[in-house]
Every structure is written in structure tokens, then in C-alpha cells.
Amino acid sequence: MARTGSTPALSGAPQTPRRPVRSAIVHPLQHFLHTEAASGVFLLIAALVALVWANSPAAGSYEALWHTELGINLGPLHLVEDARHWVNDLLMALFFFVVGLEIKRELVLGELRDPRVAALPLIAAVGGMIAPALLYLVFNLGGPGSPGWGVPMATDIAFAVGILALVGRRAPSALKVFLLTLAVADDLGAIAVIAVFYTRDLAPTWLLVAAGTVGVIIAMQRLGIRRYVPYVVAAAVLWLAVFESGVHATIAGVVLGFLTPSRPLHPPEDVSGLAERHLELLQAQPPDGIADEEEQATLLEVARLAREGVSPLARLESMLHPWTSFLVLPLFALANAGVRLPATGIAATFTEPVTLGIIAGLVVGKPLGIVLASFITVKAGLGTLPRACGWLEMIGVGMLAGVGFTVAIFIAGLAFTDPVLTDAAKIGILGASLAAGLLGALFLALRNAAENPEEIAASTPSTN
């Protein structure tokens, strides 16, 4: 990892202008949106496989798989958990590490760096968390399901962005950025809720170990240590300390994401200048069809310079984001979405207070809270609507934000110890996410049709 502070320019480097904003910001954002949209398909497939598997004649093999115990024994260290807990505690820590990287990127380089621009999605996200929690408590206050108030607060960024990408191709780009920023802020709120309200039986000694490990990581950054191995070791120690402390282990991933430097070791303009000089020398050599050692060394140096011109944050996010999107999250869905539907019929489950509270929170509370908070923010002059967007687009985005699959299921697993309540919550999440996704997609599709009637007519095949 690199230093977070500024570094002197490389000697002899010609000064070249910085990369255009489109290359530095717009293209990575487009790649991010594409990955989120595609990963939503994998998530959906994994969830459907889990649901069918858990209710098939082979249901016993599903439970046997995820109850298989796996352990780590290193001297005095003995960790034994079933496969589902390894996914939820370890692999999801990697997912939350990437979430931490995304949040930091938005704070440093993205929409959240400008308070005026960030005001609307931030306040909308707060409204979109408070309203669902309150609606949930209307059904569950004082009952056994009351600890689950945090479940309907979460938005699944992969599904929400994926649906918007499919049905909102004509939607203004600012609307997509608004949804992405809102979902990132929503993730930050969910992290805070997990850390503060779903932490039990704190172990102060392990918390001190975790704090000391954070100090070691910061010291290594200040000393300019760039090799990954020391940081991987420190990350493993931090995860173990947080796991043993009573705070959920995924918070370690978030902390590591925030600690990752967002600045490259050397300014990109200096790096590009040196790389350009090396490539010019390489091109000046007469071609002989054979790459000699000097040419190989030059290309390796250019590759090294390219790496040092990219921040550790950008490098790690680019490297890990596909793994978490296409492997970790589908595995999480496969491990947790396999709800055994009651033999009396699924309709009976939808009368449970937990299920009703989650459905009301995600399908009604999310759009209500987002639109109401946005309206107050705009009228108070604290923010403005995204460019080329009106209140109908905001309602559609609010509906899509009710898709709460991944983090909602994760919080449900923390909130409930009774498997009956956990299953009721998961059924509510699946039903509410499906309803919110369909309603949001239909609303935005009809809105697009109303805005572009000539395009719709042109794309309709003639019957003559």
C-alpha cells in the first residue's frame, strides 16, 4: 500500500496534463454500473436455486451442506464454524471491504465529496432508512420480532442498479448516479446499524487488539511499506480480533476499506511522463521480431510505473469487485436464501407480523421515506433534483430502493436467534424485494413510454 500523503514528483519527469474527467471518473463509473447490473442476474439465479433446493426432495442435502463444520487450528487458535457462518462471517467481510472502498471513493472522488451535490441523496437515504424502520415497528413493537427493525432499512445495490439499467436506458444519467449515491449512503447507514445495534457481548481485550492492529496498519502506511503481504497478515489479525470481540466480523472489512489510501504513490501526470519516455525509447529501437532482455525490462518498468500511478483503493476495488459480485454474493444468496416454505402454504407466512413489517417497510416505507425526505430537502433549498429528473423519476427510484435482498438477509441473521422468525423475515425480504423490483421497473418503464411515445411507436413492429 502507498502513503496517503503527497509525494514529490519523480525526477526528470515531463509534466503532462492530467487525464480527462471522462477517463478518470465516468469510465470507472460505467464499468461499476455494468458489473452491478450483471451481478444482479447471478444473485437472482443463486437465490432461486437455494429456494428450489431447500423445498425439493433433496432438501436434506442443502441443510447438510451448510451445516458442515470447517475449522482452523493454528497452535492455540481453534476456530470451528459451519459453512454458512464462514460465508457470512469471512467471505462477507471481503464484500464489506469492497463496500468500504466504494464509500471512501465516493467520499474522496465521487458525488459525496461535494456537500451540496451529496445533500439530496444523503438525506434521501436517511429518510429511506427511518420510514421503513418505523413502519416495521408498527407491526412488531413489543413483540418477539421487534429486534428486526433494521432489516427493511437496507437497499441491495446490485439488484436496484441492475433493474434501473434494464428498464431505464432512456433515464437521465444523473438519475443513475443519484441511485448509486443513495445506495452507497444506505450501505454506510446499514454498517452503522450493524455495528451499534447488532453487537452483543463485547470483549474489551479483543477490541484493544483490533485497535492496536489498526494502529500498526497506519504506521506501515506512514513508513511507506507497499508490499501486500504485511497488510494481508494485519488484515487477518484484525478480522480475528473483531470476530472475537463480539462486534460482527464484517466490520473489520469496512475498517480496512476506509484505511486504504485513495492517493497513488506518485502523481499520475509524472508517472505517465516517465512511461511515455520509456515507450519512446523502445519504439526508437529497430524492430528485429525478437523481444530481448532490454525490451522486456523496459516493458516491466512501464508496467511498474502504471501500477504506482494508480491508488491502492482503485487497484483493490478493480481487482476485488468482480470476485465479490460474481462469487461472494451468489454464495451468500445460495447459503441464506434457502427458506423452507411451510407445508400449510406460503400464504400463512404473509400474516406473520415480521413478514408484514418487512413488506410494509420495503415496499411502502422506502419510497415514502426517500421521496418525502427529498421533497423537504429541495423545498428547504438544501439540495436540487438530479438533472433532467422530476418527482415521478424520484418515485420510481424510491420503489427500486425497496429491493433489500443481500444486506437485509444479512441483518435478519443478526437480529433473530429463533429460526422461525429468521425464516419469516427471509420470506418477507424475498416477497418485498420481488414486489418492489417489479413495481419500480413497471413505473419507470411506463414513465419512459410516456416521455418517448415516438420512440416506442417506432420500435413496435407493424401489423400491415
pLDDT digits 0-9 by tens, 78-126: 788 899 999 999 999 999 899 889 888 888 877 677 777 788 988 999 9
Contact 248, 194 (CB under 8 A): yes
Is 136 a residue whose pLDDT tops 60?
A: yes
- 388-418 pLDDT, tens digit per residue, is 788 888 999 999 999 988 889 999 999 999 9
Give the model's confidence band at 462: pLDDT under 50 very low, under 70 low, under 90 confident, else very high: very low
Which of 220-229, 244-253, 343-352 comes out lowest in average pLDDT? 343-352
CB atoms within 10 A of CB 115: 10
The mean pLDDT value of the chain amounts to 81
pLDDT of residue 456: 41
Domain with CATH 1.20.1530.10 in the chain: 21-199+248-267+309-452
Tell me the helix, strand and coil percentages in the chain, rounded to 5. Answer: 75, 5, 25
Is 195 a residue whose pLDDT tops 60?
A: yes
To the question of pTM greater than 0.95 for the whole model, the response is no
Contact 333, 66 (CB under 8 A): no
Which of 140-144, 282-286, 309-313, 403-407 comes out lowest in average pLDDT? 282-286
- 76-85 pLDDT, tens digit per residue, is 777 888 999 9
pLDDT of residue 315: 87
Contact 186, 128 (CB under 8 A): yes
Superfamily of domain 21-199+248-267+309-452 in the CATH hierarchy: Na+/H+ antiporter like domain (1.20.1530.10)
Q: Return d(Cα 239, Cα 248) in angstroms, integer.
A: 9
Q: Return d(Cα 380, Cα 373) in angstroms, integer.
A: 11
Share of the chain above pLDDT 90, in %: 36
The residue written with cell numbers 420503489 in the block is 399
Is 23 a residue whose pLDDT tops 90?
A: no
Helix, coil or strand: residue 79: strand
Average confidence (pLDDT) over 314-332: 89
Is 283 a residue whose pLDDT tops 90?
A: no
Give the model's confidence band at 167: pLDDT under 50 very low, under 70 low, under 90 confident, else very high: confident
Which of 198-212, 340-354, 436-450 comes out lowest in average pLDDT? 340-354
Which of 14-23, 268-277, 450-459 comes out lowest in average pLDDT? 14-23
Burial of 205 (0-12, 13-18, 19+ CB in 10 A): exposed
Q: Return d(Cα 118, Cα 113) in angstroms, integer.
A: 7
Q: Return d(Cα 85, Cα 82) in angstroms, integer.
A: 5
pLDDT of residue 298: 65
pLDDT of residue 272: 65
pLDDT of residue 291: 54
